[in-house]
Amino acid sequence: MNPRHAFNRRLLLQGAVAAGALAAAPGAARAADGPPGTSAPAGAVPGAADRAAARAPGALPGRPYANPLVRNRADPHIQRHTDGRYYFTATVPEYDRIVLRRSRTLRGLTTADEAVVWRRHTSGDMSAHIWAPELHHIDGRWYLYFAAAPAHDVWRIRMWVLENRHPDPFRGTWTERGMITTAWDTFSLDATTFTHRGDRYLAWAQHEPGTDSNTGVFLSRMADPLTLTGPQVRLTTPEYPWERVGFKVNEGAAFLRRNGRIFMTYSASATDSNYCLGLLTADERADLMDPASWTKSPVPVFTSDDTTGQYGPGHNSFTVAEDGRTDVLVYHARQYREITGDPLHDPNRHTRVQRLGWKPDGTPDFGVPVPDHA
C-alpha cells in the first residue's frame, strides 16, 4: 500500500481479496453483459410443483451437481454466453495469472480444460496480487477486469482491463488496455460491469479517503468499457457489526434483475469464516446513481453454516441453470472454520454452485451453503 495511506497492510490485504462478480447472462437470447432475466424454453408451462421448487434455495434441477464445482478457485465468475456455453474465471491461489474454462454445462466446468490467457508481469505494474478476474462480452469484444499491484508495492492494488477482439476469448490476443481511473488514487478492486435501461455501469470496491473503513462499494456510469463518466457514488460502506468483523469491508458486488427490482449482493468482513453476503435492493425504475434508491438489509443474507460444514461463503456471481430459468448462486467457501495464519495464504477457497430461491414477496432466498456433493 502506498505509504501515504495510514492503514495497516495486512488489514488491507485480508479485507480485499474477495473480489468480483457480475450477473451473467442466462441464455443464448440475452446479452451477456447485463443483469440476467429469466428465459424459459418455448412451450414450457411449469406446474405448481415446478414453481414451488423454483422458489426454494438449495439443490439444482436435473442430475446432482457435485460441490465443490472447481477446487482452489476463489472469487468465481460464471456467465452463460450467447453461444450457450458457460465461461468461468476465478482467482488462483498463486495470485499470478488469469485462467478461463468453458463448458456446455455447469457441471462440465469441473473437468474442463483450463487455459492461462494472461500472466503477471515480472516487475512494475500488474506484477503482484492478480485478483478477482471477471470476463465480459461488450459490443462484440471480450474484456477481463481484474485487480493487480506492482511487485515493489504489493498493496497498491488497482483495477485493470484486458481486451480481446477475437470472437473466441481462448484465441486471439489479450491486449492490456490500462488502469481504470476513479476519483481517488486509492486501494481499489472488484470491478464488475452491467447495463440497465440503456446505460452501462461499473461497480467496484475502494478505500474512501477520510474514512476508517477498508473498502466500500461504488457505482458510476461508463462512457465505454474502459472509462468512467459523471459522478461516482457510494452505495454501501461497512456500518453493521457483521460487516466489520476482523476488518471493515464491503466488496465484490454482483447484480441481478428480477421481479421489478435490481438486487446487489456484496461481501463483508474478513476473508475467514466471518465472510458473508449482504444485500442492497432498488426499484428497477429508480435512479441507480442515487444512493437513496437503494435499501440495505440490516442482516447478512448468506453466512457460514456448521450443519453443512461450509465457512466464509462469499464473493459471488449469478448465472442460470441449463433449463434457462433456474437462478444459480455461484460463490466460494472453505470446508473448515479454523485457519492457521493469514486466510489469504490458505488456498482452499473452492467454487460452489446452488439454486437461488425466491420468496413470495419477490426477494431472493439464499438459504444456507449446501453441503459437499449436494
Q: Please tell me which residue in 33, 75, 125, 163 is annotated as part of the active site.
A: 75
Q: What is the pLDDT of residues 190-236, one digit of tens each?
A: 999 999 999 999 999 999 999 999 999 999 999 999 999 999 999 99
Q: Please tell me which residue in 125, 163, 190, 251 is annotated as part of the active site.
A: 251
For domain 9-37+65-365, the CATH class is mainly beta
Q: Could you tell me the sign of the dihedral formed by the alpha carbons of 65, 368, 362, 275, in that order? A: negative
Please state the rounded mean pLDDT for residues 234-240.
98
Question: Is 75 one of the annotated active-site residues of the chain?
Answer: yes
Residue 262: closest CA among 228, 286, 232, 238? 286
Is 10's pLDDT higher than 70? no
Asked if the bond preceding 68 is cis, omega within 30° of 0, the reply is: yes
Question: Is 338 one of the annotated active-site residues of the chain?
Answer: no
Q: What is the pLDDT of residues 71-117, one digit of tens each?
A: 999 999 999 999 999 999 999 999 999 999 999 999 999 999 999 99
Segment holding 214, helix H or strand E: none
Please state the rounded mean pLDDT for residues 26-38.
37
Q: What is the pLDDT of residues 339-356, one digit of tens each?
A: 999 999 999 999 999 999
User: Concatenated DSSP letters for 102-146?
Assistant: EESSSGGGGTS--EEEEE--SSSTT-EEEEEEEEEEETTEEEEEE
Residue 22: closest CA among 200, 174, 165, 237? 200
Residue matched to cell numbers 485487480: 147
pTM strictly above 0.85: yes
Q: What is the pLDDT of residues 277-301, one digit of tens each?
A: 999 999 999 999 999 999 999 999 9
